[in-house]
Each structure stands twice: as C-alpha cells, then as structure tokens.
C-alpha cells in the first residue's frame, strides 16, 4: 500500500517536471525559418561597404558605410533579426539591428536610436574622427534584388549616395 502512495504522489510531480522541461526547451528552440528572406553584404572599391536585407513580404533595408573596417565588426541574420556592427581604427563605430515578426513591418535601430523605416530605408553611415554620422534616405528599394552586383550598381549610380560618401568626383 505504501508503494502505491509514493507512486500516486510521484506521478503528478513527474508530469509537472516533464511539462516544465517541454516549456523551457520549447521556448529556447530556434524558430523555423520561413521563406522570403535574403541578405547580401559586400563592398564597392573606392566607395563603400554595404549590408542589404530584404523580405519578400515587403521590408528592404540597406546599410552603407565608408568606415575602414578594423576586423571587430560582425553580421548575423535570420528571418526575424538582422544585426551587424562596424568600426574603424579611428574609433568611429556603430551597431545596427533590424527586428521583424512578419517581414512587413520592422523595428530598426542604429546605436540604440530607433529609426522609422517609412522615412527612408537606405542608411549611410560616415565616419568623422571617432563619430559615426547617420544619413537616412528615402528610396524605393523594393525593385532591387538581394544580389551583390545589382546592389553595387544601384549604389554606384545614386549621385546622392556618392556625394555623402565623398565619392562624387569618382568616375561612374
């Protein structure tokens, strides 16, 4: 009879413990990657480096800079989050993060400042001594594929981008 009492008390504890394990590991497991997200990063010699992220559902964001990389930058992407950082030897640095739940709307930050993507989704970061300056431009990036050569051509042919980056005198 005593064994039956222990078993009957042990059974609810086991169920509760098993449920807790499922909840904990279920919350920490990576979410499945939905389709529709792509990203590209690269550089255009003499002009800039870029990160370009796009979702089939609607969001397109370009982050361009003219910082000389110091090897401390990084980049990570999945459907829900893109983030990166860049720094140069003179001390100018920035971190950016884009979060989305659906690929249609997003929260975008550079150095903890939130930017409204309806005001522009092309960001140019220039270095001035140890400071990173952010320029937000309104561009329709929806027609640009997330392919390096297409992005490079688009940026190279945008006179305002070239001017901000200090490359307006370079031949097209």
pLDDT tens string 115-138: 999 999 999 999 888 888 999 999
**C-alpha dist (Å) from residue 104 to 56, 58, 84, 125, 147:** 9, 5, 20, 24, 20
Mean pLDDT confidence for 93-102:
89
| pTM, 2 dp | 0.73
Which residues contact residue 29 at a Cβ distance below 8 angstroms, ignoring those fewer than 6 apart? none
Q: pLDDT tens digits, residue range 7-56?
A: 555 556 555 555 544 554 444 455 554 567 788 888 888 788 888 888 88
Can you tell me the mean pLDDT for 59-75?
Answer: 75
Structure confidence at residue 120 (pLDDT) = 95
Residue 61 binned pLDDT confidence (cut-offs 50, 70, 90): very high
The larger pLDDT score, comparing residue 160 to residue 88, is at 160
Kindly state the average pLDDT of the residues 70-89.
73
- Given this model, what pLDDT does residue 27 score? 46
Across 62-93, b (16+ Cβ under 10 Å) vs e yields bbbbbbeeeeebeeebebbebbbebbbeeebb
């Amino acid at each position: 009879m005593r064994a039956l009492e222990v078993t009957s008390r042990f059974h609810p504890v086991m169920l509760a413990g098993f449920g807790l394990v499922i909840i904990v590991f279920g919350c920490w497991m990576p979410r499945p990657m939905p389709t529709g997200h792509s990203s590209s990063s690269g550089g255009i010699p003499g002009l800039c480096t870029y990160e370009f992220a796009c979702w089939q559902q609607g969001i397109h964001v370009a982050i361009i800079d003219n910082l000389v990389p110091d090897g401390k930058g990084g980049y990570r992407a999945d459907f829900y989050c893109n983030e990166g950082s860049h720094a140069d030897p003179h001390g100018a640095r920035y971190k950016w993060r884009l979060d989305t739940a659906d690929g249609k709307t997003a929260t975008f930050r550079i150095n903890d400042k939130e930017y409204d993507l309806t005001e522009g989704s092309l960001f140019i970061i220039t270095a001035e001594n140890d400071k990173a300056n952010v320029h937000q431009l309104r561009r329709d990036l929806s027609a640009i594929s997330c392919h390096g050569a297409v992005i490079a051509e688009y940026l190279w042919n945008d006179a305002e981008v070239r001017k901000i980056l200090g490359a307006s005198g370079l031949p097209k």
